[in-house]
Amino acid sequence: MLSRRWMAVALAGVLVAAGAAAFAFTRPETGPRPAVFRGEPTSALYEPIATRRGDPRPLSEQEVFGATARLASSGVTMVRRQVTVSRDCAEALWGEGPSAAVAGCAQVVRAGFISEDGGVSGQYAVFDLPDGAAADKLVAALDPRRGDGFLRLAPGQPRSFDAGHSRADVRAVGHFVVVNWVGPVADEGGSADLISPQLALETLGAFVQQRVLAAAG
């Protein structure tokens, strides 16, 4: 028969293990977030697509990303990697705040990019929310000053993506939220120009203008 001493030791070990498991289960999730963030709410310019009810057509890979996988600006070329289209918008995010803010999100379309020289990586993502108010809420929830969370890396982005030196533009445009996030690849070394890669990805926003024109007409 085990002595009381050994039973106490065994019980203490069980309690320590249970406590560690509970901590691992309940501790807040962490993930990458940009060092520079610029958020922008929707405006009257996008009133024709202010609600999904008035603009119900689902997004597609072709509509957002087009046929070409290469986008260029000021001598920098960003090459598209894998594109994902999902109805699980929360899957693209980490943190309670952003995950709660995508309630009612119909889909997220996103892709990872890498510069030709391998020095910069990025992603472009579009969330389809019910209306402009919901889109503004998601923009606010993604602000790193809130400390609640941000996007996960897109499929195809390198694990060495240096989020600590990255920059993100997050805009509500009608009932959509567009995220343009670029940063250096840590193992490439040296400083990277992030403005040109971001401008290259910004050309993908043409789909928004097309939606506005179609809805207004």
Please provide the DSSP assignment of 1-40 as one string: ---HHHHHHHHHHHHHHHHHHHHHHHSPP-----SEEEEE
Q: Are residues 20 and 108 in the same domain?
A: no
pLDDT at 23: 41
Take residue 196 and report the two structure tokens written for it. Answer: 């040109």
Length of the chain: 217
What letter does residue 99 receive in the DSSP assignment?
H
Whether residues 79 and 121 share a domain: the answer is: yes
Do 89 and 45 share a domain, yes or no?
Answer: yes
pLDDT in tens, 190-217: 578 999 999 999 999 999 999 999 998 7
Q: What is the mean pLDDT of the chain?
A: 89
Same domain, residue pair 169 and 87 = yes
Same domain, 148 and 63: yes
Beta strands in 36-106 (DSSP E): 36-40, 70-73, 76-86, 93-94
Same domain, 125 and 163: yes
Answer yes or no: pTM beyond 0.95: no
How many domains does the structure of the chain reveal?
2
72, 200 contact by CB (below 8 A):
yes
Query: Is residue 49 scored above 50 in pLDDT?
Result: yes
Nearest to 100 by CA among 90, 108, 91, 110: 90
The reply to whether 120 and 175 lie within a common domain is: yes
Task: Judge if 5 and 110 occupy the same domain.
Answer: no
- Based on the fold, state whether residues 42 and 72 are members of the same structural domain: yes
pLDDT higher than threshold 80 for residue 53: yes
d(CA 138, CA 98): 6
Among 179, 217, 172, smallest CA distance to 201 is for 179
Report the alpha-carbon distance of residue 177 to residue 14 in Å, rounded: 47
Q: How many CA atoms lie within 13 A of 83 on its CB side?
A: 16
Residues 109 and 204 in one domain: yes
Nearest to 147 by CA among 186, 94, 104: 94
Pair (138, 76) in one structural domain: yes
Residue bearing the bigger pLDDT, 156 or 181: 181
Domain that includes residue 78, residue range: 34-216
58-112 per-position pLDDT tens digit: 999 999 999 999 999 999 999 999 999 999 999 999 999 999 999 999 999 999 9
Do 163 and 70 share a domain, yes or no? Answer: yes
